Amino acid sequence: MKHALNRKLLLRTIAPGILILLSIIGLISCVSIDRVVVVPPEIPGAHFVGSKNCEECHGNITKDFRTATHSRLMAKGENAANVGCETCHGAGSTHSEAGGGRVNIINPGRSPEVCFQCHLEMRGKFNLPHHHPVTEGKISCVDCHNPHKGDAIKGGPFALTSQVDTCGACHIAQRGPFVFEHEAVREGCTTCHDPHGTVNDRMLLQRNQNLCLKCHFQQQLASGKIFIGGRDHTGSLGRGTCWSAGCHEAVHGSHIGSSLRF
């Protein structure tokens, strides 16, 4: 992702020396620091006023913003020092002068266009045949991402809640708890799904048994036979995917048996 951003959007990392310094600070604050220069969306007739200006009326959001992943961004040009809010909302002078309101400012909660402007590869993913209905307006990037506070990825490595909680808020059936858990789910739903979109049904990362064999691979000792999980699967693999054909349909976990059949 970072390469695409660098190349196509004139995003440039600043001097390596500063990066080293920042990565030291990063270790202390437990967040990876990676400053880039960005070009925020434009609002006709408006200029940048800086996040301090927003604070006056949006104190709650501004207060916690320094903990947000995106607060590390810097814009090019005069107000480069502090345009954090305006990287997503656009230049704010006309909005502020009008005393706020729902005009002269972009709200990316209603359309992901602004996000796509920087995250080019995401536009591509949300165009794939199987994707979360974000561009259709049914859910939004902020159902899974925090724009204003903390780790941008809800359930990410530094978050208090897990990814299973984030996804499970809407997908109760897959969340569990189950009597017989599948350990793979504990590692996160993205072990098997790309929530932005894929070419495969159910947004799966792979469409066939390779999805499962990346963990359930074992060295084959008897020639002409395929063993998985210590059991002879020679006749099974031709019948369909591991999760169809009546084999391991309860791939997220089961209340009935450890083989995750139902």
CB 89, min distance to ligand HEC, A: 4
Q: CA 260, CA 262: separation in Å to the nearest integer?
A: 6
Q: Do 151 and 158 touch, CB atoms closer than 8 A?
A: yes
| Stretch of 19-27, 161-169, 217-225, 232-240 lying at the interface with ligand HEC (CB under 6 A) | 161-169
Query: Which residues, numbered 119-138, are part of the site for ligand HEC (CB under 6 A)?
Result: 119, 122, 126, 132-134, 138
* Phi, psi dihedral angles at 194 (to 5 degrees): -105, 110
Determine contact, residues 114/41, Cβ cutoff 8 Å.
yes
The rounded distance, in Å, linking the Cα atoms of 112 and 115 is 5
Task: Tell whether residue 237 is a contact of ligand HEC (CB under 6 A).
Answer: no
Which of 152, 159, 226, 237 binds ligand HEC (CB under 6 A)? It is: 152
Distance, in Å, from the CA atom of 203 to the CA atom of 182, rounded to the nearest integer, reads 19
Scanning residues 57 to 96, which ones bind ligand HEC (CB under 6 A)? 57-58, 61-62, 65, 69-70, 72-73, 84-89, 92, 95-96
- Taking CB under 6 A as the criterion, the residue among 143, 162, 178, 200 binding ligand HEC is 143
Using rule CB under 6 A, residue 170 touches ligand HEC: yes
186-225 mask for ligand HEC (x: CB under 6 A)?
-x-xxxxx-xx-----xxx------xx-xxx---------
Q: What DSSP element (H or E) covers 37?
A: strand 37-38
Alpha carbons within 13 A on the beta-carbon side of 57 = 11
Residue 111 touches ligand HEC, criterion: CB under 6 A: no
Q: Where does this chain touch ligand HEC (CB under 6 A) — which range of 16-24, 164-172, 217-225, 232-240?
A: 164-172
Rounded to the nearest whole angstrom, what is the least distance from the CB of residue 40 to ligand HEC in the complex? 5
Binding residue count for ligand HEC, defined by CB under 6 A:
100
Q: What is the DSSP string of 91-120?
A: --HHHHHTT-SSSSS--TTT-THHHHHH-H
Return d(Cα 254, Cα 177) in angstroms, integer: 9
Cβ(105)–Cβ(114) below 8 Å: no
Work out how close the CB of 87 gets to ligand HEC at its nearest, in angstroms, rounded to a whole number: 4
Residue placing its CB nearer to ligand HEC in the complex, 157 or 225: 157
36 binds ligand HEC (CB under 6 A): yes
